[in-house]
Amino acid sequence: MSTRLAAALVASLASFTTLAACGDDHDHDHVHVDAAPADAVVVDAPTTQAVSIRFAAKVGGAPFACGQTYAGIGTSAASYVGADFRFFVSAPALTPIGGGPPVPVALAVNANQTADGVALLDFETNTANCQTGDTATYTTLTGTVPSGSYDGVAFTLGIPADRNHLDPALATAPYNAPGMLWAWQSGYKFVKIDGVVGGAGFNLHVGSTGCPGTDPQQPPTGACVNPNRAAISLAGFDPATDTIVADIAPVLAGEDVAVNTAMTAPGCMSFPGDPECDTIFPKLGLPYGAAAAGTQLLFTVP
């Protein structure tokens, strides 16, 4: 091979090597730009957050307590002694800041909360005049919601129809709470707020009525005529700082709690034809007989 030809061949090989090296550098840089290191960990933002919804029970602005006397209740400004304060809620939800439909709260499961979105709030201690419950109280719903910010709360006061007529012999907590069931046919007392006035009981028991069937110890044969579930919606509620107050005094404000119509249940127990319910149900946001539903006054966010 001639010296000139050998030199040309060496030059050609050097040029090819340089191009190949440049190509390798380009590919190497591309990998560094578009791919994460093999040991990198990608962390997604949380999709849910824990939430607590606090409740407080009051009578005329004062905290409820079994055996406590509260003055100035009803049209006759009677003295009212606390004897029970419990209620079921279902389908709790929070309203996102800026609007939009309420976002369901997934309740944690415990003795007072169920996976199907029902909870029993309980403020009585089975002491003094409170003799139909137990010593444990429960004042705060706990669960999770989609991550975000919220400024409103909504829930139903009561138990859904498909859970309201469970077999009492098989019911589990909180459906087996003492004193909160009427009968298999009529279902549960959604609200049980009892007081004693002048030695006599003035009780508020809210539940479904007009449930068809001939045997009270069997489930109803159809839908109840008066479901009596109140839809509650409260604006201006920050779950991080606020407490929902349930105060029975505004609900009883239009009724003389020292008087009860003869041959009717003591107080208002939801059954049709009880005059004591005429002024009370509208203040729960429920119709009653000829009385239309009004603005509910039981729950507020102070």
Confidence of residue 2 (pLDDT cuts 50, 70, 90): very low
Are 3 and 148 part of one and the same domain?
Answer: no
Confidence of residue 9 (pLDDT cuts 50, 70, 90): very low
Are 25 and 66 part of one and the same domain?
Answer: no
Are 58 and 34 part of one and the same domain?
Answer: no
Query: What is the total count of domains within the chain?
Result: 2
Determine the average pLDDT of the residues in 61-65.
98
Are 153 and 232 part of one and the same domain?
Answer: yes
Question: What local confidence, expressed as pLDDT, does residue 15 receive?
Answer: 44
Are 79 and 4 part of one and the same domain?
Answer: no
Q: What is the pLDDT of residues 122-148, one digit of tens each?
A: 999 999 999 999 999 999 999 999 999
Long-range contacts for 293-296 (Cβ within 8 Å, ≥24 apart)?
A: 296/230, 296/232
**Distance between start and end Cα atoms, the chain:** 102
Using CA atoms, how far residue 260 sits from 129, 203, 268, in Å, is 19, 10, 9
Are 38 and 177 part of one and the same domain?
Answer: no
35 CB burial (10 A radius; 0-12, 13-18, 19+): exposed
Percent of the chain with pLDDT over 70: 85
* Domain that residue 54 falls in: 49-300
Are 97 and 24 part of one and the same domain?
Answer: no
Are 67 and 153 part of one and the same domain?
Answer: yes
Q: Answer whether 60's CB lies under 8 Å from 246's CB.
A: no
Q: What is the pLDDT of residues 276-293, one digit of tens each?
A: 999 999 999 999 999 999
Q: Which helix (H) or strand (E) holds 277?
A: helix 277-280
Q: What is the pLDDT of residues 83-116, one digit of tens each?
A: 999 999 999 999 999 888 999 999 999 999 999 9
pLDDT at 39 over 70: no
Are 87 and 38 part of one and the same domain?
Answer: no
Question: What local confidence, expressed as pLDDT, does residue 99 receive?
Answer: 84
Question: What local confidence, expressed as pLDDT, does residue 100 receive?
Answer: 86
Quote the Cα angle for 69-89-244, to 5°: 55
pTM (two decimals)? 0.85
**Mean per-residue pLDDT over the chain, rounded:** 89
Q: Which helix (H) or strand (E) holds 5?
A: helix 3-34
| Comparison of pLDDT for 122 and 24, the residue scoring more | 122
| Comparison of pLDDT for 190 and 30, the residue scoring more | 190
Are 154 and 273 part of one and the same domain?
Answer: yes
Q: What is the pLDDT of residues 169-216, one digit of tens each?
A: 999 999 999 999 999 999 999 999 999 999 999 999 999 999 999 999
Are 150 and 79 part of one and the same domain?
Answer: yes
Are 134 and 10 part of one and the same domain?
Answer: no
How long, in residues, is the chain? Answer: 302
